[in-house]
Amino acid sequence: MKEPFIHPLYIIEKLETAGYEAYFVGGAVRDLILNRTIGDIDIATSARPEQVMELFPKTIHVGIEHGTVVVVHENETYEVTTFRSEGEYDDFRRPSSVTFISSLIEDLQRRDFTINAMAMNAKGEIIDPFNGREDLRNQLIRTVGNAKERFHEDALRMMRAVRFVSQLAFSLSDQTKRAIQQYGELLRHVSIERITVEFEKMLSGKRPSLALALVADTELYRYLPQLNVDPQKFRSVCAHDWMMLQRVSESWTLLVHLLDIQDKQAFFKSWKLSNKQIKDIQLQSIGLRDVLENGWSKRIMYTIGEQASVSVNRILQLLRSNEHMNEHELLYIYRELPIHSLKDLDINGQDLLVWTGKKGGPWVSQLLKEIEEKVLYNELMNTKSSIRKWVQSCSQI
């Protein structure tokens, strides 16, 4: 048994000792076979939630109505879920009812894709009723059973499909791809927040260009916030090597640049991004526009800051712009700036009031900006005495 499974193996063994079936399931089993980093480890069992809670002293009751109990073991948390089948889906997201069952195979049958519908027992043996391992070998994303049914149960699965294409560099099976083309409009029933999570995971994957091409081929973009644009325009975004980007904010910045989105604030609000995310992307967008128009300058680096400058430079490299700089050179220039924000000035507005004897007013911020500019371009030393001399000799005072 590999390292990540050793600690939670205790949970499986304790359930088995009590007479229940228990298995590792889902993404952890898939990633083990692919030799990828193991994320969350989930367990499926024939034990009912109340029976799980009786066996383990530390549990968190987060989804008992759906059969899930979180077991705390050695300061780690593991979701333990009772085998279940699901009733009709009447909102393209949640089943109208959940029935606890005793069959692992039936439980696996309700899952989205074959590569996620495998289980592993305490001996490390894989249970694979839907040929998930074969699809892993063939690098294929295929729904469990009928694709139409899976996507009508939870329309978000269409976004998960293209996300896995990006993360794993796999392809979609023909049936799965056709179903997405046919039922893409079901995404209108899914909350924007859930769509955004999957879209960002797709942008952050190994092969985002591959996934974006699928979004174009299946016309899924038509049902994504403010992306119902000209097909050729959307297809143009797939032509770039998105793998070069390292932060999801860079991907958003590139997307709005390539699609020439004018009202970026409204665009990102429609995706329900946080104010922090929007601020980061707006900074990068401002920097990208200015550098493409005028080239790099100390003023641009100073205005957008170190991280945004690095991100903009990375996007310029992807765009094969002549304005792209060596990153070490860019960082050297930025870090050698005399100041990195207005707060770094050796004086403040109160000093100006004292030195001039004037009352406050708009002139204070205007003069601070002028001092900031001169210090930034090494025309004035950032010392109180130097700035005071300059202020007192300035004709406008």
Q: Which residues are annotated as a binding site?
A: 27, 30, 40, 42, 111, 154, 157, 160, 163
Q: Please give the annotated binding residues for ATP, written as ranges.
A: 27, 30, 111, 154, 157, 160, 163
Q: Which amino acid is at 375?
A: V
**Nearest-5° angle of CA 142, CA 146, CA 147?**
55
R_g over Cα of the chain: 28
The residue length of the chain stands at: 397
- Using the Cα atoms of residue 202, residue 216, residue 187 and residue 161 in order, give the sign of their dihedral: negative
- Rounded Cα gap, residues 337 and 346, in angstroms: 14
Q: Please give the annotated binding residues for CTP, written as ranges.
A: 27, 30, 111, 154, 157, 160, 163
Largest CA-CA distance found in the chain, in angstroms, rounded: 91
- Using the Cα atoms of residue 304, residue 321, residue 274 and residue 70 in order, give the sign of their dihedral: negative
Q: Which amino acid is at 290?
A: D
Strand partners, 171: 140
- Cα dist. 348→21, 251, 342, 370, 395 in Å? 70, 38, 9, 13, 20
Is the Cβ–Cβ distance between 108 and 129 less than 8 Å? yes
- Rounded Cα gap, residues 312 and 348, in angstroms: 31
Q: Please give the annotated binding residues for Mg(2+), written as ranges.
A: 40, 42
| Beta pairing class for 171-172 and 140-141 | parallel
Among 146, 154, 147, 220, CA closest to 181: 220
